[in-house]
Amino acid sequence: MTLIDLRPDTTAAAAPSPVTSPLVDPDNVTSPLVDIVIPVYNEAKVLAASVTTLRDYLRDHFPFTWRITIADNASTDTTWLVAARLALTLDGVRAIHLDQKGRGRALRRAWAGNDATIVAYMDVDLSTGLDALLPLIAPLVSGHSDVAIGSRLAPGASVARGPRREFISRTYNSILRAVFGNGFKDAQCGFKAVRREVADRLVPLVRDNEWFFDTELLLLAERNGLRVHEVPVTWIDDPDSRVKVGKTARDDLKGVARLANDFAHGRGTTDLGPVARPALDDDFGRQIVVFGKIGVVSTIISLALFLWLRGSTGAVLANLIAVGTTAVGNTWANRRYTFGYRGTRERGRHYMGGVVISLAGLALSSVALANVSGSVAQVLVLLFTWTLATLARFGLLRNWVFRPAR
Question: How confident is residue 240, by pLDDT bands cut at 50, 70 and 90?
Answer: low
With the C-alpha atoms ordered 109, 175, 255, 263, is the resulting torsion angle positive or negative? Answer: positive
Give this prediction's pTM.
Answer: 0.75
What stretches of 7-58 adopt beta strand conformation (E)?
Answer: 34-40
Give me the percent of the chain exceeding a pLDDT of 90: 56
Each domain of the chain, given as residue ranges in start order, spans 2-275, 284-401
The stretch 256-280 carries a mean pLDDT of 87
Alpha carbon distance 320, 323 (integer Å): 5
Question: How confident is residue 403, by pLDDT bands cut at 50, 70 and 90?
Answer: confident
CA-nearest of 75, 304, 105 to 207 is: 105
What stretches of 147-236 adopt beta strand conformation (E)?
Answer: 147-151, 158-160, 191-195, 228-232, 234-236
- What is residue 19's predicted lDDT score, i.e. its pLDDT? 29
- What is residue 185's predicted lDDT score, i.e. its pLDDT? 93
Residue 205, φ and ψ in degrees, nearest 5: -80, -20
The angle, 0 to 180 degrees and rounded to 10, between the axes of the packed helices 315-333 and 284-313 is 150
Give me the percent of the chain exceeding a pLDDT of 70: 89
- What is residue 213's predicted lDDT score, i.e. its pLDDT? 96
Alpha carbon distance 130, 54 (integer Å): 8
Amino acid at 318: A
- What is residue 218's predicted lDDT score, i.e. its pLDDT? 97
Going by C-beta distance under 8 Å and a sequence separation of 6 or more, which residues neighbour residue 312? none
- What is residue 118's predicted lDDT score, i.e. its pLDDT? 97
42-76: pLDDT as tens digits: 999 999 999 999 999 999 999 999 999 999 999 99
Span 2-275: which CATH code? 3.90.550.10
335-363: pLDDT as tens digits: 888 888 876 778 888 888 888 898 898 89
Q: Specify which residues 158 forms β-bridges with.
A: 234
